[in-house]
Amino acid sequence: EIVLTQSPGTLSLSPGERATLSCRASQSVSSTYLAWYQQKPGQAPRLLIYGASSRATGIPDRFSGSGSGTDFTLTISRLEPEDFAVYYCQQYGSSLTFGGGTKVEIK
């Protein structure tokens, strides 16, 4: 099983700042089969990024994904108030697993 480790656990930032979230896999994720989701309290997750770097439909371009192999990054260029949430990475190259999440909170 591919284990995904997300860091940091919590990121404290102010609106307008840049957020950089990391997702590290225990083994290489084939064909960049990696997705990112956003989840707000009491809501279902929302797909942001798939294929490591492709934005899902309707996702603002301040969200971007990058990486390959075992190291992936989600970047939010300028945080909007609605971006404070928990973010999960998920790999689908070998079965499916999720990372433990990164909470982006208001500083």
Beta sheet of 63-76, edge-to-edge order: 4-7, 19-29, 63-76
One symbol per residue from 28 to 47: x for binding another protein (CB under 8 A), - otherwise; what is it?
Answer: -----x-x-x-x---xxxxx
Would residue 15 be called left, alpha or beta, if left means φ above 0 and alpha means ψ between -120 and 50 degrees? beta
Q: Report the C-alpha gap between 29 and 41 in whole angstroms.
A: 29
Is residue 99 at the binding interface for another protein, with CB under 8 A as the rule? yes
Tell me whether residue 41 is exposed, middle or buried, using C-beta atoms within 10 angstroms of its C-beta: 0 to 12, 13 to 18, 19 or more: exposed
Tokens of 76: 């939010």
Residue 21 binds another protein, judged by CB under 8 A: no
Which x/- pattern over 45-74 shows residues binding another protein (rule: CB under 8 A)?
Answer: xxx--x-----xx-----------------
Min. distance of Cβ 44 from another protein in angstroms? Answer: 4
Tokens 């192999």 belong to residue: 69
Of the residues 14, 61, 81, 95, which one makes contact with another protein according to CB under 8 A: 95
User: Which of the residues 1 through 20 are near another protein (CB under 8 A)?
Assistant: 1
* Residues found near another protein in the complex (CB under 8 A): 1, 33, 35, 37, 39, 43-47, 50, 56-57, 88, 90, 92, 95-101
